[in-house]
């Protein structure tokens, strides 16, 4: 789907639907790929000619996705790839998908251009509310540019408890 500028979004709140862990391929950087291979084996990834991808189960879902009482929980909480951490947002230093005025986000004395994948079911459409503009979005930008690792506002509110990863049956944390 074509990304839309952040100013069209009232707020965002992950509803743990798991759609993004089923319908998309997660692209890994080399460091992320190495970490996964060391911890879970090369079969947890899909190396292709042009990209390194996160592995999938036979049903097409991410091999680290856990289902729990109707919700979906990531089993890679402390090793989550950057692409997963900032989904559904996309942060650029130029207006890559147009609508520059609506995508512009001035933060930390810099101009960022932030877009959102409209397929995410956790989006609420409308005029951005204060919490979204001043807490959620800045945290996504900080994570995207590497200034922050831990996520408070930019992740699901469901409380993660140590669980067993279904992929290889080993404890994740």
Fill in the per-residue mask, 13 to 52: x = in contact with ligand SF4 (CB under 6 A), - = not in contact.
-xxxxxxxx----x--------------------------
Provide, rounded to whole angstroms, the least separation between the CB of residue 100 and ligand SF4: 25
Provide, rounded to whole angstroms, the least separation between the CB of residue 108 and ligand SF4: 24
Cβ distance to ligand SF4 smaller for residue 15 or 145: 15
Q: Choose the stretch contacting ligand SF4; rule: CB under 6 A; options: 11-19, 38-46, 96-104, 106-114.
A: 11-19
Q: Dump the DSSP string for the chain.
A: ---EEGGGEEEE------GGGTSSPPEE-HHHHHHHHHHH-GGGEEE-SS-EEE-B-TTSSBTTEEEETTEEEETTGGG--HHHHHTTEEEESS-TTS-HHHHEEEETTEEEEEEE-TT-TTEEESSPPHHIIIIIHHHHHHHHTTS----SSSS--SPP---B-TTTS-B--
Binding to ligand SF4, residues 69-108 (CB under 6 A): 74, 76, 80, 84, 87-88
Footprint of ligand SF4 (CB under 6 A): 14-21, 26, 54, 62, 64-65, 74, 76, 80, 84, 87-88, 120-122
């Amino acid at each position: 789907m074509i990304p839309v500028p952040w100013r069209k979004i009232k707020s965002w709140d992950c509803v743990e639907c798991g759609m993004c862990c089923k319908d998309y391929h997660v692209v890994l950087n080399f460091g992320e790929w190495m970490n996964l291979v060391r911890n879970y084996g090369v079969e947890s990834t899909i190396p292709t000619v042009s990209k390194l991808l996160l592995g999938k189960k036979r049903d097409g879902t991410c091999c680290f996705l856990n289902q729990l009482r109707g919700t979906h929980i990531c089993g890679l909480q402390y090793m989550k790839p950057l692409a997963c951490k900032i989904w559904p947002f996309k942060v650029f230093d130029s207006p890559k998908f147009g609508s520059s005025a609506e995508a512009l986000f001035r933060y930390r004395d810099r101009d960022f251009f932030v877009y959102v994948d409209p397929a995410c079911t956790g989006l609420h459409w409308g005029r951005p509310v204060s919490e979204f503009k001043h807490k959620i979005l800045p945290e996504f930008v900080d994570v995207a540019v590497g200034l922050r690792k831990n996520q408070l506002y930019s992740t699901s509110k469901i409380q993660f408890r140590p669980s067993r990863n279904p992929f290889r049956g080993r404890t994740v944390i």
